[in-house]
Homo-oligomer: A and B are copies of this chain.
Amino acid sequence: VYSHEPPGYVCPFCNLDAAGQLPGNVYRGERASAFISNRWWPNNRGHVLIVPNAHHENLYDLPAEDGYAVFDLTQKLARAMREVYGCDGVSTRQHNEPAGDQHVWHFHQHLFPRYRGDRLYESAPIEGSAPAEELARYAEILRAALAAV
C-alpha cells in the first residue's frame, strides 16, 4: 500500500557500494545500519542516515523489530554525535511518500547535528554529493565515539 518504488528499482541503500556511500559507513548491525548521508545541509554537515538492513519502503510497513533496531541505533548515534560533533542538540526526521519529501524508496531516518541559529528547516541541501574524504572523516569520528561508549 502507498508504494512509489518503480519496477526494477536498484535501491541505493541496499547497494551502498554502488551508490558511493561506503566511505561514510558508520555502523553495520544485524538489523540496522548507519552511514553519513552524502546529501548535506549547509549548516548541518555530516548528518547520519539510519536504515533497516532489509528493504522496506516506508514507515507504514516496517516490521516492529526493524523499527526498534532503528530506534536503538538512532539513540546511540545521537549520544555519540552530541559528544563529538561539537553541536548544541540533535533532531531526527523521517519522510514517507513523495508528498512527504521521500526521495529514496528504502525507509531511512535522518539524524541531524543542530547548532544555535542553524536554520535547518529554511535551508536547501547543497547540490551534488559531499566529497568522499569528508564522508570518511565524519564516519571515522562517529565510529571512534561509538567504540568509546
Contact = CB atoms under 8 A, between A and B. Distances in A.
A102 B89 contact: yes
A90 B100 contact: yes
A75 interface: yes
In this complex, the member of A91, A95, A116 whose beta carbon has the largest number of chain B beta carbons within 10 angstroms is: A91
Number of copies: 2
B78 A99 contact: no
Interface string A115-147: 111101110000000000000000000000000
A96 B122 contact: no
Contact of A96 (B68, B78, B97, B121): B78
B75 A62 contact: yes
B89 A99 contact: yes
Contact of A100 (B67, B94, B114): B114
A9 interface: no
A32 to B, nearest CB: 12
Interface of A: 2, 59-60, 62, 64, 67-68, 70-72, 74-75, 78-79, 82, 87-102, 114-118, 120-122
The 9 closest A-B pairs by CB, nearest first: A89-B100, A89-B97, A88-B99, A100-B114, A89-B99, A121-B121, A93-B93, A67-B71, A91-B100
